[in-house]
Structure 1
Amino acid sequence: LAEQPEYDPKKLAKQPIEAATDVYLNSTEGTSDKSGRMQLQFACRVIFYNTDKIRKLIITSGAYERSISVRINSLHREGKSIREIQELTGPSVASIRGYLPSQKTVYKMEKITVLAERLRKYRNRKNAVKKLRDIIMTENSEKIKDLLWDIPCIV
């Protein structure tokens, strides 16, 4: 598979973590919990992830500190298995995994294929054509000529 040299997987892997943490730490009026952090259900509406994913990202960044997550992570750092942690704390195996920081990022994020780049360009072209079609259907011909210069040339 051909790769794109300008692709930075480490930078891309940090983006969702930073976004979730930023939203969580900067709550707006009426969205905060007792600790002053944004409630996870409100964070879901802002960045369109489910609560489990947001919690996992925030735990990975170190910003989420609830007694259960602190205890689970402490036991995990001590070398306890997930089954042992379950016996000591009570939550299900799935819940325990949810409270542990992410160990992986997106599969093969260090590589972007030529096909992936082609698909990105295709989506951009498709959006440009849709925008042009919408302009043609709603504007007069003189305005269309002016607006054509605003649509990016996507090759």
Structure 2
Amino acid sequence: MSRPKKKLAYDAEKIMKELMAAVVESYDETRELKLTAEEFGMSALKIRKLLITAGAYCNDISDEVNELYYAGKTVAEIQRIIGLGKSSVNGYLPYTKAIYKPEELSLNAERINIFRSRQQAVRELATDMGEDKLWETVVAFQNYPFHTATGLPFVYELKRGRNGECNKELIVSRRKESKTVVWSSFMLAFQKAVELQGEIVDRPKSLGDIRGISFIYPMLYRFGVIEVPEKIAKKMELRRPLSKR
């Protein structure tokens, strides 16, 4: 008879603080709620609420809502004064307590770990543009919401062998279809990207006529290996840290 799995104990207050810190860090890089929301797999409303709680976001509406709230107005009164719905008003108010639902705590802890591992992988790749660090970065960014240079969304996972270990083959899912990108193709594009560092890589095929290059191109940009024109970065819905531009 198998033993029941032991439930992990989570510190709700600690997770809330760490989640806010991670969201603030991401928002400082993207400066867009939508992009930060995609990074964490959360709604833009929740991201905004976390940022407001951390004191890292404000606009005219949030300022007015919070001024009224701290002046003693109820949510219902704020609704009537500003003309917003209840959920909208609540969305502009900070969290007053940590989230204690076990499933939400577990999910938020995972979100934090994934974000931190991706940030660490990108930092290490920046100091060591070698194949091993590239591979670690590719592993870390599985299921990240990428877009091609023409704006088509996709995610990827790594193919696994019978022993469960990742093979160096990417399974790219784009809407209802999937394609495979082999590691040798990725390395060809990466080597060319390293040669072009310091230059603007204006289109995917500037890295070579390589199978799967339309998927590799936004990945290399997100990993910090190449620079691209701003108009293409917008289509890919990606932003690199402002300090690196």
Give TM-score, length-normalised by structure 2: 0.38
Alpha-carbon spacing, 1:131–1:61, altered in 2? closer, same or farther (3 Å): farther
Instruction: Name 2:86's counterpart in structure 1.
Output: 93
Q: 1:9 aligned to 3, 12, 24, which one?
A: 12
More strand by share: 2
**How many percent identity over aligned positions?**
33
May I ask how many residue pairs the two structures share in their alignment? 106
Deviations 1:43-78 (A, max 9, x none): 122222110110110011011110000100010000
More helix by share: 1
Q: 1:79 aligned to 63, 72, 75, which one?
A: 72
Deviating beyond 4 angstroms after TM superposition, the runs of 4 or more aligned structure 1 residues are 2-5
Unaligned runs of 5+ in 1: 28-37, 113-129, 138-155
**Structure with more contact order per residue of length (Cα contacts < 8 Å, sep ≥ 6):** 1
Larger radius of gyration between Structure 1 and Structure 2: 1
Deviations 1:83-106 (A, max 9, x none): 111111111111001110011212
Alignment of structure 1 residues 121-132 onto 2, 5 Å: none
Give TM-score, length-normalised by structure 1: 0.58
Q: 1:42 aligned to 31, 35, 41, which one?
A: 35
Instruction: Work out the CA distance in 2 between the residues paired with 1:134 and 1:80.
Output: 56
Cα deviation for residue 4 of structure 1 reads 7.7
Instruction: Work out the CA distance in 2 between the residues paired with 1:3 and 1:49.
Output: 24
Is the partner of 1:73 in helix, strand or coil?
helix
